[in-house]
Amino acid sequence: MISKKKALFIITITILVTFSATLAGSTYLGFKTDDKIIIPIARYNELREIESKYEKHEFIAEFVQENFLYDKDMTDIFEGSLKGMLDILEDPYSEYLTTEEFNSLIEQTQGEYSGIGVYVSVTEDNKIVVVSPIEDTPADKAGLRTGDFISKVNGIEYSGDKLSDAVSVMKGKPGTDVTISINRVQKDGSELNFDVVITRQNIKIETIKYELLASNIGYIRITTFDQQTDEDFNTALKALTTQGMTGLIIDLRYNPGGLITSVTEIADVLLGETIITYTQTKDGKREYYNSDKRKVDIPLVVLINEGSASASEILAGAIKDTATGTLVGTKTFGKGIVQRIMPLDDGSGIKLTVSEYFTPNDINIHGVGIDPDVHIELPEDAGYGPDYLEEDIQLQRAIEIIKLK
């Protein structure tokens, strides 16, 4: 282990760093003379405890550096130890992010990056699963579906605990190819395994699409909730209102979620005075998100399916619990936990599950999902949205409900 001489050196350095400022007159912190800092025994013992706590880490790092057969950058070893600290939590949504990974995550929330265009998550049995492909992206055009399992990327196997690594490989320079190995469980229970080669491109996510349907029924499709979504939603709502909208359909199908601040801003426009959602930490501390009295007072239907997750479920759950509108489609994905993203000084960061969220009726849907008010299965090969109205029976039913209100 570390020698007494080295231990003393570490303590000395710690003291010098901690007390670089003049501390004369401080009973707890100690005081400085010409060539040393004198501290109370209690503070000295604290520093000894810190040194002892990380002694094993320092010893192993030095042992690896001196004895490992192959060259390995110490920075990589250090960052690996930080990743391990979060990996041990066995939570697929919590992770340490290198500077590159953290920047990549921030890019996604801003709605633009380079890759194949797919939202993925992790199953309870540690598999990478497609939550939804993003509309009109390479993944969507290649036929990836909600529920597909990604077993390999470029021939290398990735389990759920290596999600970030798999995502990093799927991203890349526009115009380059990546091979995705898919395991698809079909409705009859049989499995289909195949590879698909997808060409990466710049992904600019348009989170809001809207149009006025027949009978003055407004249609707004929300593909995800990023920093711009609530503002774009209000723009769409204003345009449809100007055109004479008398009923509204919001399409959350294959919307994997996003920022809680974005979805609650949109819910505020729709719900009237109520609780939208609240989050609760392990200590029972709650944070409430409320809407005011103002609301869009027209008939409302929300389309959901198994690809509607997280922030989508916040909106769907609030609308269902407050009877503000009717949910049509199939049961949602079931992600009811919240991650906090915390940047660190060197550009890296951590993503940590810190709370779970509840609907206005105190329901946590994590691992359960939200059932629609009107259950309708979309045929497997059917398109969806206004361009496929003749085969989109979920949208057809939503229109019928609006007309009856």
* Catalytic positions, written as ranges: 310, 321, 335
**Orientation of helix 260-271 relative to helix 229-242, angle to 10°:** 30
Return d(Cα 107, Cα 93) in angstroms, integer. Answer: 18
Q: Are 145 and 133 in contact (CB under 8 A)?
A: yes
Return d(Cα 30, Cα 40) in angstroms, integer. Answer: 6
Of 166, 164, 144, 141, residue with least CA distance to 155: 166
- Counting beta carbons within 10 angstroms of the beta carbon of residue 41, is it exposed (0 to 12), middle (13 to 18) or buried (19 or more)? exposed
Q: Are 157 and 151 in contact (CB under 8 A)?
A: yes
CA-angle at 12, arms to 7 and 14, nearest 5°: 95
Of 27, 51, 55, 21, residue with least CA distance to 41: 27
Residue whose entry in the numeric block shows the structure tokens 């005075």: 273
DSSP 94: -
3-state secondary structure 272-323: CCEEEEEEECCCCCEEEEEECCCCCCCCEEEEECCCCCCHHHHHHHHHHHCC
Q: How far, in whole angstroms, is CA 11 from its chain's centroid?
A: 41
Structure tokens at 34: 């010409």
